[in-house]
Amino acid sequence: MLEVAAYKYPQAEQRIEAYAADKVFIPLSQHIGAPAKAVVKKGDALKLGQLIGQVSAKVSAAVHSSREGKVEDIKIFNHPTLAKAPAVVIRSTELKEEKTWEVRDLKENLERDSLVNIVKESGIVGMGGAGFPTHIKLLPPKNIDVLIINGAECEPYLSCDYRLMLEYTEELLRGVGVLVKILSCRKVFIAIEDNKKEAIRKINNKINTKDFGFRAKVKILKSSYPQGAEKQLIYNITKRIVPAGGLPFSVGVLVQNVATTFAIYEATYLGKPLFERIVTFAGSCLKEPKNLRLRVGTLISELFEKGILQFRKQPRKVIMGGPMMGVSLDCLDYPILKTTSGVLFMDEVDIDQRPEDVCIRCGRCVDNCPMNLMPLEFVRLVKKERWKDLDRFYVSDCIECGNCAYVCPAKIPLVNYIKIAKAKLKSLA
Amino acid sequence: MRLLVEISPHQKARYDTKYIMWQVVIALLPPSFAAIIFFKLLAVKLIAVCVLGTNLTEAAVLFFRRRPQRFWDGSATVTGLLLALILPPALPLSVAFLGSVVAILVGKQLFGGLGQNIFNPALVGRAFLIASFPTLLTSWTEPYTLDAVTSASPLALWKFNHVFTKLPHLFLGDIPGSLGETSALALIIGGLYLIGRKIADWRAPLGMLIGVSVLAGILSILNPQNGSILFHLFAGGIMLGAFFMVTDPVTSPATRKGRFIFGFLIGVMVMVIRKWGGLPEGVMYSILFMNAFVPLINRLTKEKAFGR
């Protein structure tokens, strides 16, 4: 674990604002697993929240229209992690009122399976970044006794989860209630870093004054990185160790991000599928940082064209996600995905351009690796192309949190080397 | 809009290798000042010659290897300063210069330069000199007086004459000895700065001090003539070795456990040499010896991967 500069302000104080894009580019793959299969064609008129891509395999997730409008095209388009991927392009038909969803009572008789089915049909995936289809996590082959709601938000700059916890506290807790009902687990922890005092206070307040049908404990974590990484989070709270290559259910734990939990609330209480999310826009190049509730598929460029966001100065680097694990983009024509937590606009000063120097074997990368790996060995072995030896150092266990490269005094891009090693090992396997 | 595309992380720590090296130089200022107080101009000259020697050698080697110059990274300065501090104050400057050339040339550049060397370069320089000029390297100077008269170091007095130097003198440093090794106080100040600023890890120094203390403790119980724990901690090169030699990132283990074990074994070995060896002091040989085992220690103390 590592203390990194958090840079959460001023965006953490910005209220969530909603914006509905004119045109959305919705990729059919926004999750781990097979891309959704398109069920609409060019020219189709769409309602808000209408299914446009259906689950196509065991591990896959549905995709819904995020705008009332017309399918303009289905084409290969920019994708932040896949480079290019098929997307459904929808132009909104103005004037018409969009569909809205009313809160309805969760029917008492709703069974676990039908709740999971709602989650599946709503296209919910892990919104913390991984994008693993949630319905699969909710039907584990083993009993779950601990549920952890992940509100750590350990990545610097990001404040979308924090704002969600503040502004949708009750909805979030109802979502937790749905999860408890599905899993019938005994223990519920809501994990929040200690730099989010207001969120801790608010959630504590709510669970103490109102009955949500379950008992939960707010677990205050030290603000450090990567505190929100699944395996580390589970270990810190329960002292259970998820085995290498294993999933949390193997130790009886389920972790859900707060945004995902909120999506589960909306799906079950409102019947609303997942087609929008809160995204933090920050960085020194923006006139004003914001937390925006955006439709999935919104292009970053549209936000600037419409004046929702304004540049103070030209960015040198645009990052989708947080600065530790995010992806840098080559232009602004990229769509917001279900997994997009933030977009950062950095200038020359923010980004480290110091060239890669030689390793002095100081071991800082070893000391700060949350997986207890030896990153310096990865670099040495990749340079020598000793691919087989990389396995002995468990390079595949690396979660690419970026701590090693952050602390390296020689500015060695360790994650880069690790990605090369993983790709090579995969090709050899 | 031209955007930069790079692999994460996009945020990095502000310090770099250069910063770390110059921080070590800063941490070496207290013992350097102590040396100047005790040995006056001798100290200034010796430090200047060694720092000049290491930097010139490094520049020359990099020039002939057609590598970019890296004077400002400070690593040659650290080596030069460390070398000066472990040499006798009145050493002829030409000999000191030769030592600094060997330190960089043999100790560092022959292995491939920064990050590649197995042995601590400053200690390589001193080991070379002690083999070449044994008398000069064991001729000590009385502090303040700057008498060229040869006087014995506290450890030699203890080992050969069974005479104990008083602890306050060992602590403050107004005693004959290597230029920067005499004042335990100044070294502790510099060392704590280094550890406090997280430039150096505390495990190797602690391991070494414990190693010395354990064996010294046992020996002093068996026979008080063997010297107390504090005597052994404050006399000779323990403090400089613990804070500035075993903390050298390049020549110490990369694992936390490994660093402690490395330090501990050095501490034990120093006491073995002091007690049973032919020499009164053994810090240099112990560290150089253990440097050779660093790859092995790294392998044996490989961190247990999470979930494995």
pLDDT of residue A105: 73
pLDDT of residue B145: 77
Tokens of B27: 């941490």
A contacts of B8 (beta carbons < 8 Å):
319, 321, 323-328, 400, 402, 405, 415
From A199's Cα to the closest Cα of chain B, the distance in A is 26
B225 vs A416: CA distance, rounded Å: 59
pLDDT of residue A109: 62
Nearest C-alpha neighbor of A124 from the set A338, A271, A340, A279: A338
Q: How many CB atoms lie within 10 A of CB A388?
A: 10
From B13's Cα to the closest Cα of chain A, the distance in A is 5
CB contact under 8 A, B249 and A362: yes
| Alpha helices (runs of H) in chain B, residue ranges in sequence order | 17-27, 29-64, 75-85, 93-105, 121-132, 154-156, 167-172, 184-196, 203-222, 229-234, 238-240, 256-276, 283-291, 294-300
Mean pLDDT of B194-212: 96
Burial class (CB in 10 A: 0-12, 13-18, 19+), A425: middle
Location of structure tokens 């999971």:
A116
Closest alpha carbon within chain A to B10 = A323
From B226's Cα to the closest Cα of chain A, the distance in A is 36
A376 vs A360: CA distance, rounded Å: 10
Backbone φ and ψ for B159, nearest 5 degrees, come out as: -75, -45
- Please list, in sequence order, all residues whose beta carbon lies within 8 angstroms of the beta carbon of residue B177, skipping any fewer than 6 positions away: B140, B153, B154, B236
Q: What residue segments make up the domains of chain A, in order of their start?
A: 112-270, 364-428
Among A156, A318, A408, beta carbon nearest to B3: A318
A127 vs A337: CA distance, rounded Å: 9
A19 vs A336: CA distance, rounded Å: 12
Longest dimension (CA), chain A: 64
Per-residue pLDDT of B236-254, as tens digits, reads: 999 999 999 999 999 999 9
What string of DSSP letters covers B213-279? HHHHHHHHHH-GGG--HHHHHHSTTHHHIIIIITT-STTS-SSHHHHHHHHHHHHHHHHHHHHHSSS
CB contact under 8 A, A371 and B305: yes
B61 vs B104: CA distance, rounded Å: 9
pLDDT of residue A110: 73
- Evaluate if residue B161 carries a pLDDT over 90: no
CB contact under 8 A, B5 and A243: no
pLDDT of residue A380: 94
B143 vs B165: CA distance, rounded Å: 14
Q: How far is CA B22 from the centre of its chain?
A: 16
- Please list, in sequence order, all residues whose beta carbon lies within 8 angstroms of the beta carbon of residue B74, skipping any fewer than 6 positions away: B18, B21, B22, B24, B25
Q: Is A415 on the interface with B (CB under 8 A)?
A: yes
CB contact under 8 A, B13 and A409: yes
B contacts of A332 (beta carbons < 8 Å):
1
Cis check: omega of the bond before B9, within 30 degrees of 0:
yes
State what percent of residues in chain B have pLDDT above 70. Answer: 98
Which 3 state secondary structure label does DSSP give A52? strand
Task: Return the C-alpha torsion angle A399, A403, A405, A407, nearest 10.
Answer: -160
> B214-252 burial, b for 16+ CB within 10 Å, e for fewer?
ebbeebbeeeeebbebebbbbbbbbbbbbbbbbbbbbbb
- Please list, in sequence order, all residues whose beta carbon lies within 8 angstroms of the beta carbon of residue A405, skipping any fewer than 6 positions away: A365, A412, A413, A414, A415, A416, B8, B9, B12
pLDDT of residue A3: 84
Among B12, B17, B250, beta carbon nearest to A406: B12
**Within 13 Å and on the Cβ side, how many CA atoms surround A288?**
11
B contacts of A330 (beta carbons < 8 Å):
3, 5
Among B13, B256, B308, beta carbon nearest to A407: B13
> A236-273 burial, b for 16+ CB within 10 Å, e for fewer?
bbbeeebeeeebbbebbbbbbbbbbbbbbbbbbbeebb
Are A91 and A25 spatial neighbours (Cβ–Cβ below 8 Å)? no
A288 vs A14: CA distance, rounded Å: 9
In sequence order, the β-bridge partners of residue A16 are: A291
Location of structure tokens 């990729």:
A27
Read off the DSSP letter of residue A286. Answer: B
In sequence order, the β-bridge partners of residue A191 are: A150, A219
- Chain B segment 130-169 residues within 8 A of A by beta carbon are none
Location of structure tokens 């064209």:
A305
Q: Is A407 on the interface with B (CB under 8 A)?
A: yes
Q: Which helix (H) or strand (E) holds A391?
A: helix A387-392
From B165's Cα to the closest Cα of chain A, the distance in A is 37
Which of A2, A352, A382 has the highest number of chain B CBs within 10 A, making it the mutation to test binding with B?
A: A352
Rg (CA), chain B: 20
pLDDT of residue A252: 94
pLDDT of residue B150: 65
The ipTM value here is 0.91
Are B33 and B186 spatial neighbours (Cβ–Cβ below 8 Å)? yes
Among A332, A346, A370, beta carbon nearest to B10: A346
From B275's Cα to the closest Cα of chain A, the distance in A is 33
Q: A112-270 falls under which CATH superfamily? A: NADH-ubiquinone oxidoreductase 51kDa subunit (3.40.50.11540)
B152 vs B140: CA distance, rounded Å: 6
Per-residue pLDDT of B109-153, as tens digits, reads: 999 999 999 999 999 999 999 999 999 998 888 888 776 666 778
Tokens of A40: 């609409």
- Evaluate if residue B88 carries a pLDDT over 70: yes
Among A360, A405, A415, beta carbon nearest to B114: A360
Q: How many CB atoms lie within 10 A of CB B302?
A: 20
| pLDDT-based confidence at residue B34 (cuts at 50, 70, 90) | very high
Could you tell me where the beta strands, DSSP code E, fall in A137-287?
A: 146-151, 187-193, 216-221, 253-257, 276-282
Q: What residue segments make up the domains of chain B, in order of their start?
A: 17-132, 152-300
Are A35 and A85 spatial neighbours (Cβ–Cβ below 8 Å)? yes
Which of A1, A361, A365 has the highest number of chain B CBs within 10 A, making it the mutation to test binding with B?
A: A361
Closest alpha carbon within chain B to A232 = B306
Q: Which helix (H) or strand (E) holds A417?
A: helix A414-428
pLDDT of residue A96: 63
A contacts of B259 (beta carbons < 8 Å):
363
A134 vs A124: CA distance, rounded Å: 6
Which of B3, B247, B261 has the highest number of chain A CBs within 10 A, making it the mutation to test binding with A?
A: B3
| pLDDT-based confidence at residue B279 (cuts at 50, 70, 90) | confident
Location of structure tokens 């059919």:
A28
B contacts of A325 (beta carbons < 8 Å):
8-9
Q: What is the residue-level pLDDT of chain A in tens, covering all 429 positions?
A: 888 888 888 999 999 999 999 999 999 999 999 999 999 999 999 999 999 999 989 999 999 999 999 999 999 999 999 999 999 999 998 766 677 888 877 766 678 888 999 999 999 999 988 899 999 999 998 899 999 999 999 999 999 999 999 999 999 999 999 999 999 888 999 999 999 999 999 999 999 888 888 889 999 999 999 999 999 999 999 999 999 989 999 999 999 999 999 999 999 999 999 999 999 999 999 999 999 999 999 999 999 999 999 999 999 999 999 999 999 999 999 999 999 999 999 998 888 788 999 999 999 999 999 999 999 999 999 999 999 889 889 999 999 999 999 999 999 999 999 999 999 998 887
Among A317, A411, A416, beta carbon nearest to B12: A411
Are B183 and B172 spatial neighbours (Cβ–Cβ below 8 Å)? yes
What separation, in Å, do the N-terminal and C-terminal C-alpha atoms of chain A show?
Answer: 31
From A373's Cα to the closest Cα of chain B, the distance in A is 5
Q: How many CB atoms lie within 10 A of CB A143?
A: 10
- Please list, in sequence order, all residues whose beta carbon lies within 8 angstroms of the beta carbon of residue A84, skipping any fewer than 6 positions away: A76, A77, A78
Fill in the amino acid letter for B60.
Answer: A
Closest alpha carbon within chain A to B198 = A364
Are A123 and A62 spatial neighbours (Cβ–Cβ below 8 Å)? yes
Location of structure tokens 């599946």:
A120
From A378's Cα to the closest Cα of chain B, the distance in A is 13
Q: Which helix (H) or strand (E) holds A76?
A: strand A69-79
Among B6, B15, B254, beta carbon nearest to A374: B254
B148 vs B145: CA distance, rounded Å: 9
A365 vs B255: CA distance, rounded Å: 10
Q: Is A176 on the interface with B (CB under 8 A)?
A: no
